[in-house]
Amino acid sequence: MSAVRTRFYRDKVNGKFMGVCAGIADYTGIDALWVRLGFLIAAFSMGWPFLIYFAFGMLADKKPASLYGDRQEERFWQGVRQSPARTAREVRSSFRDIDRRLAEVEHFYVSGNPRLSAEIEKLR
């Protein structure tokens, strides 16, 4: 499922013409307005970006409607596309934090209950 979320899609729902600029904005996390302005400046100064735009418009798949569950999930996958290593570090850090908090809860309940402490030690 992650390969589906890390691909480039053209975004027809948020797009103006073929959805390529909106797709680039979704893929990178940059606001679509800035992508469109950058495209227009490049297109009118060089000319060839129009050809690339139409090629992407014809070849890229349309973005699935249920690609993201919510805005937080969309931001997460944009972060994965931008920097997978940083995202992996953030996920590891979140798990370490959860593990630390769980150990604190365990210590709180076990320190006042020696019978529970013995049961947990038996399970280890």
pTM of the entire predicted model: 0.53
DSSP 49-78: HHHHHHHHHHHSPBPPTTS-SSHHHHHHHH
- Distance CA(57)–CA(61), nearest Å, equals 8
Every domain of the chain and the residues it spans = 1-82, 83-124
Question: Binning pLDDT at 50, 70 and 90, where does residue 1 land?
Answer: very low
pLDDT of 33 higher than 50: yes
- Distance CA(26)–CA(93), nearest Å, equals 26
Q: 34-79: per-residue pLDDT in tens?
A: 988 988 888 888 888 888 888 888 887 777 767 777 777 777 777 7
Among 1-5, 58-62, 97-101, the least confident range: 1-5
